[in-house]
Structure 1
Amino acid sequence: MNRKFIAIGLGCLFLINAVKAVASNLAGPDTADITRPVAPLVPLDRQRIGQIAAMLPALPKGFGEGYQNRKVWDSLYHNLKYQKTIKIAEGFLNKPFPAWNDEQYLLYFTKGTRPEGENMMGSRLAWLAPLVWAECLEDKGRFVPAIEMVLNELIHQKSWSLPAHDKKKQNFEGRNYTVDLGAAGLAHNIAQAVYLLNDKLNPQLRAEVLKQMDTHVFSPVLRSIAAHNNDHYWLTVTNNWNSVCLAGVTGAALAIIPDKQQRAQFVAIAERYSRNSIAGFTDDGYCTEGLGYYAYGFGHYILLRENVLQATKGAIDLFADAKIKRIATYAPNLQIINDVYPNIADCHVGTKAPAAILWYCSRNLGLGLKKYDNLTPGGSTVNLVEDMMYAFPNSASRAQVSPQASALAPGIRSYFKDAGVLIERPDITGKGGMGAALKGGNNNESHNHNDVGSYTIVVGNELLMGDAGGPNFYTAKSFGPNRYQYKLLASYGHPVPLVAGIQQQPGAAAQAKILSANFSDKQDEFVMDISSAYPVPALSKLTRAFTYSREGAASLSVTDDFRFTESKPFEIALITRARWKQIAPDQIEFDGQKEKMIATIKTTGGTFAIKSETIEENAPAFTRIGIVLNPAVAGSVTVTFKPLTNKKL
């Protein structure tokens, strides 16, 4: 089971596969927020803190059981899933620990590159989980010296924050400490290690860990709230930063702070400000950040929920909001066909529904997702927090499976009305047929690609046309004013028009106005006005109409109808990673590994030319095929896509 919450193939995988690239693909601090916070900064509620303190156990507690519970740990020791971890840990005993490297950390500031510094930090943290797992499993003390060395190295490294999030090198230079995605995860894993090993560790080291945790994490967050400063802006943002940082800070506090009243402060903070994370989803549960960041952000919301739920013995449940159930159904409803999903926003090619999230939500919320209900979690040992949560009983494993089968996808369509996104599926059985994802939305969405009007087409189980997805890793240009210099991220690299040579503009004003959404069992029509996305004064009309027919193996027609106040050029783009060739003046054939598709082009108001360009920008190469119309005052262009089958097209 894929239980890596931090997906983000979007490589949004934080601490995955020995943590080669800690948060290398996580949101940069300049990522646009998609909505206003529902919980702005306010002073701590002392009355509420007292109430929460009464709910908490006398001693700090992380996920799972400490090493002293030999009945549990001996059982895990005999589980073959965990035997390999001891071998991995043994390998560390004869290796030098990865050194902190200033030069690699500072490459972000000198060259704008992120992987070097993040990989360096990740390689250090990668030692912790296997060593702690091995010691808890074996209980012989032979890994303790190495664990103490690793903990001492981690808590005293120059920065807990990732280079890209270290504004003006303030963490690196020790002038001011701030909590980012990296620091939150580091703190949570360190605290979890101390909780599990407890008296196996030197008392002086445990005291120093707590001191450094307070210096780098706890006090800075409390200062932000008290001083109303913006050091920890993630408290009030509505994207993945909110849930990820809250999960790390809260989990660390619950696992290591001795005083209940102090622990309760961070639960109160999580209880209030996690509401902003939920506000970031549209009311119908859609995640504008894409499937990879959904796995990362909502996955950490689940970690936070489970941590607080266990700590308060069920008294505080962050799943109480009715919107959570709609958010939980986002992934199954986003599936196009045959386990293929659109690469919207910074999502990586091939990202699948996060099985761990669907297992957890289906069992907790009674979704009836039979594919996921009976999965067996656990077995991974790369992240002390997530892995311990799944290796030990939790609310999902204790929940009764719903006897009702889910009414969720696949059906013939999923319509996220609030987001302006429509998923189309054929009315046929088996693996064949064509499905599509049609996107309206706006260009102020988090991890936005300026892609109003974009679409994706799947034939069989192959994505033959559509959004190329996000980059393999980020650079200093990935967030901020230079983001759209990348063709991959700009509208130029998407199947949307190029109007008078002008691309789509960022911002909330660039939005798809849905003009009609007429659905039937045989055919769906989805029409949107996308003219506001283009800062072209001469543009007086631009509508994009999608017509999806379920006849046979299905087909999709995309029609752009435009008008200018004076003659201007107009171009549309087809985006593909399939092989392609022009087989007629008005037809293009797309060849995947097994599937084929024909695109037929029809225009009014003039002729057209076809040009192509290969784009490779830190992502798998793709082809942009431009359908270039002669300059005109008005016109239209329709592209009809049909699977190439044995039947006559």
Structure 2
Amino acid sequence: MKYLFVFLAILISTTSIASYTERNLLQKEASEQQLRSYILPTDQWVKYPAYSNRIGWDSITGNLKNKIIQDGEAYLNYEWKVVKATDYLEFERSGSRAVMETPFNANNTALGRLVYAELAEGKGRFMEQIINGVWHACEMSSWVLSAHLSAQKSKRSLPDYHEEIIDLGSGQLGSLLSWTWYFLHEQMDKTDTIIASKLRKNIRERILIPYMARSDYWWQALNYTPGTLVNNWNPWCNSNVLICFLLLEDNADARSAAVYKTMQSVDKFINYVNEDGACEEGPSYWGHAAGKLYDYLQILYNATGGRLNLFSKPMIKNMGEYIAHSYVGNGWVVNFADASAKGGGDAGLIFRYGEAVNSNMMQRFAAYLQQTNTLETGVGIDFFRTIENWSCAAGLSKTDPESPSDKYTWYPQTQFCYMKDEQGFFLAAKGGYNNESHNHNDVGTFSLYLNTTPMFVDAGVGTYTRQTFSNERYSIWTMQSNYHNLPMINGKPEQFGAEYRAKDVQFDERLMRFSMDISGAYNADASVKSWKRTYDLSNNALTIEDAFTLAEAKQPNQENFLTWAKPDITTPGTVVLEKDRQKLQMIYDAALFTPSIEEIPQTDPRLSSVWGEHLYRLTLTAKKMQVSGKYKFIIRRVRQ
């Protein structure tokens, strides 16, 4: 049976041109031998009170206590769901991840809420259901998501008992269960000592032993080959593994060896990320990339009594502040790659990260986000973030809110450029290359917001299926350059691959001008010698100019624009967009182009939840073929 790899197969097997610098910041902070003396006993570094310390837990939960308990009460009669063999197999049969993930995640959410409620209340009222949840988890053959089981040697989506895999699912659940054991194992023993013993054995066999036995999980990157992708999986999985070892490994030598191995692995992620700190996966993934790196570093800081500390490194601060700079306003964010256009981030996480790196901007931005949101009493099954958010709630509420107002933000290595003007325009454009993590073929694209309303947009990505991370990825319309704000050159779109990239990328902050040659993002069939795209945000307008030279003209060029509002093209040479009481017009040369509109129904719930029922593609098709020329588009605000 032919089976397609999931998530990373297509991405990992290729090379990238991302900068990889052997910083090895963590390993420079401590050797394995030093780490042995740095790591504190668990009861010294875990700053949360013991389960029996009711005054301590009341202090942590504060005025969130009643809500935390109420959330747990909703699961007192929860019926634990069975994840069937056919649920796993559905991934390879239809491509659906949700069939397996829905019951699995529901169980995990129930367990998390019950644990949080029991810690908040401390009366034992939730213990029987917690025991049910723990027992249910231990009886499962695997904690790995069906979409990630193709990393098994069998390449199938049904768990193979011959091999243990550590993925996002198993790591997250392993971490929650480790905290559950740490705080509640004595309470479990009151029912039967086999419960906590069985739980500890499961975590050891599913996380501790395989992590130390193997160095070939792709996300570990321990056998790193220059140019290979290292993305959010690395800090995400390693932060979960770190918790499991710190809480459950009693042997000091084994514990320090394991922690050092996670340091070696996380260094690979830090080496991979650009010095400018931009998250090439977009704001939706920041919490899993930079945010999880922060979690990892904070846990390591706590466990070593502050002796292992990277928070003073400028790069770590840059990575944190990216999330604030990428916020457009009113819930909208810059969403290159698979990121959603809606979001903002976890205010508690952003606040704590800001505290750690001494970024007043991040702390004030977190308070700004918190104005319109209720602090989550439970961050899914992420125990560390949940309890930390409870702990910072008071400080967050006392912080003055402010959204970043920088005129521009420039990420020179990642080649992201944000510019703002006094007319209410927020322009986000990028260079880059077409093998970034969660890549779309989008070298040279842009998004434009008017008073925070998206006008020219990036659709984002639909619901994940098998096809999303397979060799069928670029058959999906959202991944293709012709559904971004980019040209079709000689009838050809951009191509996927590390070699397809922008050249001569420049930003002039004085002129508010961003330019690059995007010809390198197209293959030889496009017969393009150069295609210099320039974004100029000045004189109360955005001017986009394409100056090009072709080896030959084979088909009429097309300029594509993806919009939220339906374009009005009734007047030749003018396109009008109006959405949410915001209006602009784009001027083009009617002698050069014929306009047309494609209505794109949004039937996928992940997309329709952001954009509603429709997006639109405006296509300007050149009326004549020429081997060289210049196209210009001027976008201005229309005041009403």
| TM superposition score normalised by structure 2 | 0.86
Q: Is the 8 A contact 2:341 2:458 kept in 1?
A: no
Matches within 5 A, 1:329-344: 329-336=321-328, 340-344=332-336
Report the equivalent of 1:141.
Answer: 124
Distance in 1 (CA, whole Å) between partners of 2:506 and 2:123 is 68
Q: Could you give the per-residue CA deviations for residues 178-222 of structure 1, whole angstroms, max 9, x where no partner exists?
A: 101111101001101111213112232222112111211111111
Q: Is the 8 A contact 2:92 2:157 kept in 1?
A: no
Distance in 2 (CA, whole Å) between partners of 1:334 and 1:125 is 31
Report the equivalent of 1:164.
Answer: 147
- SS state of the match for residue 296, structure 1? coil
- SS state of the match for residue 176, structure 1? coil
Q: Which moved more, 1:614-623 or 1:290-299?
A: 614-623
Report the equivalent of 2:447.
Answer: 456
Report the equivalent of 2:53.
Answer: 69
Structure 2 gap segments, 5+ residues each: 1-5, 609-613
Report the equivalent of 1:424.
Answer: 419
Report the equivalent of 1:630.
Answer: 623
- SS state of the match for residue 50, structure 2? coil
Q: Is the 8 A contact 1:170 1:176 kept in 2?
A: no
Q: Could you give the per-residue CA deviations for residues 269-294 of structure 1, whole angstroms, max 9, x where no partner exists?
A: 22222112223322211111111111
The structural deviation recorded for 1:462 is 0.1
Distance in 2 (CA, whole Å) between partners of 1:320 and 1:71 is 34
Report the equivalent of 2:3.
Answer: none
The structural deviation recorded for 1:374 is 6.1
The structural deviation recorded for 1:320 is 4.9
Do residues 575 (structure 1) and 584 (structure 2) align?
Answer: no
Report the equivalent of 1:414.
Answer: 409
Q: Quote the RMSD (CA, aligned, Å).
A: 3.1
Structure with the largest fraction of helix: 2
Report the equivalent of 1:557.
Answer: 544
Q: Is the 8 A contact 1:161 1:183 kept in 2?
A: yes
What is the identity, as a one-letter code, of the residue corresponding to 2:241? V
- SS state of the match for residue 466, structure 2? coil
Out of 628, 631, 642, the residue aligned to residue 636 of structure 2 is: 642
Change (3 A) 1:159 1:513: same
Distance in 2 (CA, whole Å) between partners of 1:253 and 1:591 is 55
Q: Could you give the per-residue CA deviations for residues 433-487 of structure 1, whole angstroms, max 9, x where no partner exists?
A: 212111111111111101011001000120110211222x211111131100001
Q: Is the 8 A contact 2:148 2:157 kept in 1?
A: no
The structural deviation recorded for 1:411 is 2.2
The structural deviation recorded for 1:162 is 0.5
Report the equivalent of 1:306.
Answer: 298
The structural deviation recorded for 1:529 is 0.9
Out of 158, 161, 167, the residue aligned to residue 174 of structure 1 is: 161
Report the equivalent of 1:284.
Answer: 276
The structural deviation recorded for 1:165 is 0.4
Distance in 2 (CA, whole Å) between partners of 1:297 and 1:38 is 18
- SS state of the match for residue 274, structure 2? coil
Distance in 2 (CA, whole Å) between partners of 1:30 and 1:389 is 36
Report the equivalent of 2:611.
Answer: none
Q: Is the 8 A contact 2:502 2:520 kept in 1?
A: yes
- SS state of the match for residue 516, structure 2? strand
Change (3 A) 1:565 1:505: same
Q: Could you give the per-residue CA deviations for residues 315-365 of structure 1, whole angstroms, max 9, x where no partner exists?
A: 112435431122122123334567642210001121225433431232222
Q: Which moved more, 1:122-131 or 1:321-330?
A: 321-330
What is the identity, as a one-letter code, of the residue corresponding to 2:385? E
Q: Is the 8 A contact 1:161 1:171 kept in 2?
A: no
Change (3 A) 1:325 1:156: same
Report the equivalent of 2:465.
Answer: 475
Change (3 A) 1:146 1:95: same
Q: Could you give the per-residue CA deviations for residues 538-563 of structure 1, whole angstroms, max 9, x where no partner exists?
A: 624342433423334x4333435342
Do residues 608 (structure 1) and 590 (structure 2) align?
Answer: no
> 1 or 2 for the larger relative contact order (CA 8 Å, sep ≥6)?
1
The structural deviation recorded for 1:503 is 1.3
Change (3 A) 1:601 1:373: closer
The structural deviation recorded for 1:526 is 2.3
Q: Could you give the per-residue CA deviations for residues 123-179 of structure 1, whole angstroms, max 9, x where no partner exists?
A: 111111221122222222222122111111112212111001001247713120110
Do residues 222 (structure 1) and 215 (structure 2) align?
Answer: no
Q: Which moved more, 1:275-284 or 1:297-306?
A: 275-284
Q: Is the 8 A contact 2:426 2:449 kept in 1?
A: yes
Report the equivalent of 2:433.
Answer: 442
Out of 377, 381, 387, the residue aligned to residue 380 of structure 1 is: 377
Q: Which moved more, 1:342-351 or 1:510-519?
A: 510-519
Structure 1 gap segments, 5+ residues each: 1-25
Report the equivalent of 2:523.
Answer: 535
Distance in 2 (CA, whole Å) between partners of 1:477 and 1:309 is 40
Report the equivalent of 1:21.
Answer: none
- SS state of the match for residue 184, structure 1? helix
Q: Is the 8 A contact 1:527 1:545 kept in 2?
A: yes
Out of 364, 368, 391, the residue aligned to residue 371 of structure 1 is: 364
Report the equivalent of 1:23.
Answer: none
Equivalent residues, number: 600
Q: Is the 8 A contact 1:128 1:150 kept in 2?
A: yes
What is the identity, as a one-letter code, of the residue corresponding to 2:377? S
Out of 234, 237, 247, the residue aligned to residue 239 of structure 2 is: 247
Do residues 526 (structure 1) and 520 (structure 2) align?
Answer: no
The structural deviation recorded for 1:246 is 0.3
The structural deviation recorded for 1:48 is 4.0
Distance in 2 (CA, whole Å) between partners of 1:63 and 1:470 is 39
| TM superposition score normalised by structure 1 | 0.85
Report the equivalent of 1:12.
Answer: none
Distance in 2 (CA, whole Å) between partners of 1:135 and 1:591 is 51
Report the equivalent of 1:489.
Answer: 479
Change (3 A) 1:181 1:515: closer
Q: Which moved more, 1:542-551 or 1:432-441?
A: 542-551
Report the equivalent of 2:259.
Answer: 267
What is the identity, as a one-letter code, of the residue corresponding to 1:644? V
The structural deviation recorded for 1:258 is 2.4
Q: Which moved more, 1:82-91 or 1:121-130?
A: 82-91
Q: Is the 8 A contact 2:433 2:443 kept in 1?
A: yes
Distance in 1 (CA, whole Å) between partners of 2:512 and 2:518 is 19
What is the identity, as a one-letter code, of the residue corresponding to 2:430? K
Matches within 5 A, 1:39-58: 48-58=31-41
Distance in 2 (CA, whole Å) between partners of 1:445 and 1:93 is 44
Distance in 2 (CA, whole Å) between partners of 1:27 and 1:326 is 27
What is the identity, as a one-letter code, of the residue corresponding to 1:466? V
The structural deviation recorded for 1:490 is 1.3
- SS state of the match for residue 584, structure 1? coil
Q: Which moved more, 1:375-384 or 1:506-515?
A: 375-384
Distance in 2 (CA, whole Å) between partners of 1:48 and 1:317 is 14
The structural deviation recorded for 1:37 is 6.2
